[in-house]
Amino acid sequence: MPAIRKTAEEAMEYIRSGNTLMVGGFGLSGVPLKLVDALVKTDLTDFTVISNNIGTPGQGLGKLLNTGRIKKAVGTYFTTNPDVGTAYQQGKIEVELLPQGTFCEALRAGGSGIPAFYTPTAAGTELAAGKEQRVFDGQSYVLEKALKADVSLIKAHKADDLGNLVYYKTARNFNPLMAMASDLTIVEVDEIVPKGTLDPEAVITPHLFVDILVTG
């Protein structure tokens, strides 16, 4: 189905308490801040959040964290928000830390029908503890599982009215991967343009990955 248009508030009706959510962005760049703010305003809770960072103190996903709605965080660099460390030490959230390349590859695998893959990254380190390791051609690799989500909240630059997406500079980051790896993809865009106006060679996310468009 081509994407449908909703307001940020309406889009929240597709999310359930207990969902696994992916949220795009690196630092605060490429984070769908309007969608995150709309989510904070709901009374939905108990989320597993898959995101590179959990915002910064009181910003972006930091708000969701501070209102106690994140049960588990899966990502690579929570150091940008010391509140994550505090919540973790108080036993308020579970944390799963992955090397960033493993995180990306697991997102892509989740969207690509690949249940698991081997990576050299983290072999022989603490982050591979408890994970299956295997030698190919004399080198050690770690078996990593795909990441999938019920809903992804992502940020793109422009969409056409079918839902094809293009991004803006380094705000692209994890967003195209998350669009692939979730059952439902909600996209905050700067602008919606008529179909036929984006260059077909330059579309990064084909519209089949996109369900809901929200203008930010």
Partner 1 sequence: MSDMYTQEVRHSIARRAAQELRDGDIVNLGIGIPTLVNNYIPSDFNIHLHTENGMLEVGPSPSPDSVDPNLINASRQPISELPGASYFDSGMSFSIMRGGHLDATVIGALQVSQAGDLASWAVPGRTVLGVGGAMDLVVGAKRVIVATTHLTKDGNPKILPSCTYPLTAKQEVDVLVTEHAVFHFSEGQMTLVEIGEHLTLEELKAITPAGFGVHPGLTVAKRKEAIH
Residues at the site binding partner 1, with contacts judged by CB under 8 A: 1-2, 26-30, 52, 76-80, 84-85, 88-89, 95, 97-102, 104-105, 107-108, 111-114, 119-127, 160-162, 164, 167-177, 180, 195-196, 198, 200-201, 203-204, 206-209
Q: Which stretch binds its own copies (CB under 8 A): 31-39, 55-63, 75-83, 110-118?
A: 110-118
DSSP 131-193: S-EEEETTEEEEEEE---EEEEEEEEEEEETT--EE--GGG-TTHHHHHHHEEEEEEEEEEEE
Residue 65, C-beta contacts closer than 8 angstroms, at least 6 positions apart: 54, 55, 73, 81, 83, 84, 87, 93
**136 interacts with its own copies by CB under 8 A:** yes
Residues 137-166 touching its own copies, rule: CB under 8 A, are 137, 139, 141, 145, 166
Which is closer to partner 1, CB of 44 or CB of 112? 112
Contact assessment for residue 165 and residue 158, using Cβ atoms and an 8 Å cutoff: yes
DSSP H stretches of helix in 79-205: 82-89, 100-112, 175-181
Helix (H, G, I), strand (E, B) or coil at 4: strand
**91 interacts with its own copies by CB under 8 A:** no
Question: Which residue in 91, 113, 194, 196 binds its own copies (CB under 8 A)?
Answer: 113
The amino acid sitting at 210 is: V
Residue with tokens 């795909």: 146
Q: Which one of its own copies, partner 1, none interacts with residue 27, CB within 5 to 8 A by kind?
A: partner 1
Minimum CB separation from its own copies for residue 191, in Å? Answer: 14
Minimum CB separation from partner 1 for residue 163, in Å? Answer: 9
Tell me the pairing of strands 116-119 and 70-75. Answer: unpaired
Q: Which stretch binds its own copies (CB under 8 A): 46-54, 173-181, 183-191, 201-209?
A: 201-209
Q: Which one of its own copies, partner 1, none interacts with residue 138, CB within 5 to 8 A by kind?
A: none
Which is closer to partner 1, CB of 68 or CB of 124? 124
**130 interacts with its own copies by CB under 8 A:** no
Tell me the pairing of strands 20-23 and 149-160. Answer: parallel
